[in-house]
């Protein structure tokens, strides 16, 4: 009998503005480029830059060293609220019309709108 890991939906989504709260890039702010729900990783713009050595190929005729963003764990970033402009924890709330939205725990304002 295999165990299956049930993943909750991440509280951070693509195109969210986040702040890094741990690691070498602590304090940096960027936009989420992609979210990997299975491995709980996010790729943030201009954060966790790594260098990759490319061999010459048809896509990159010169080859060389390319800098790109590497994924970081989702627990090392915090969502920045649109209203209060501070990093905040994320809650969920069901509105009167039945929609489920994410809310800022500091100012209680909906993030998704």
Q: Rounded to an integer, what distance in angstroms lies between the CA atom of residue 84 and that of residue 88?
A: 9
Mean pLDDT to the nearest integer, 14-24? 96
Residue burial 42-57, b: 16+ Cβ < 10 Å; e: rest: bbbeebbeeeeeeeee
pLDDT digits (tens, 9 = 90+) for 52-95: 999 999 988 999 999 999 999 999 999 999 999 999 999 999 99
Rounded Cα gap, residues 63 and 107, in angstroms:
49
| Strand partners of residue 93 | 101
pLDDT score recorded for residue 10: 80
The pLDDT assigned to 88 comes to: 95
pTM of the shown model? 0.85
**Considering just the CA atoms, what is the radius of gyration of the chain in Å?**
18
Would you state the pLDDT for residue 13?
Answer: 95
Sequence spans of domains, the chain: 8-80, 83-113
- Residue 6 pLDDT grade (very low, low, confident, very high; cuts 50, 70, 90): low
The domain 8-80 is placed in CATH, from the list 2.30.30.30, 1.10.3720.10, 3.30.420.40, 2.40.50.140, at: 2.30.30.30
């Amino acid at each position: 009998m295999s165990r299956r890991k049930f993943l909750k939906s991440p509280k951070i989504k693509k195109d969210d503005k986040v702040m890094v709260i741990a690691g070498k890039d602590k304090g940096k702010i960027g936009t989420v480029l992609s979210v990997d729900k299975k491995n709980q990783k996010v790729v943030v713009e201009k954060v966790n830059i790594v260098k990759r050595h490319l061999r010459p190929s048809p896509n990159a005729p010169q080859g060389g060293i390319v800098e790109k963003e590497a994924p970081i764990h989702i627990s090392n970033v915090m969502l920045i609220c649109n209203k209060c402009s501070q990093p905040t924890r994320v809650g969920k709330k069901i509105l009167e019309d039945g929609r489920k939205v994410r809310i800022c725990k500091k100012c209680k304002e909906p993030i998704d709108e």
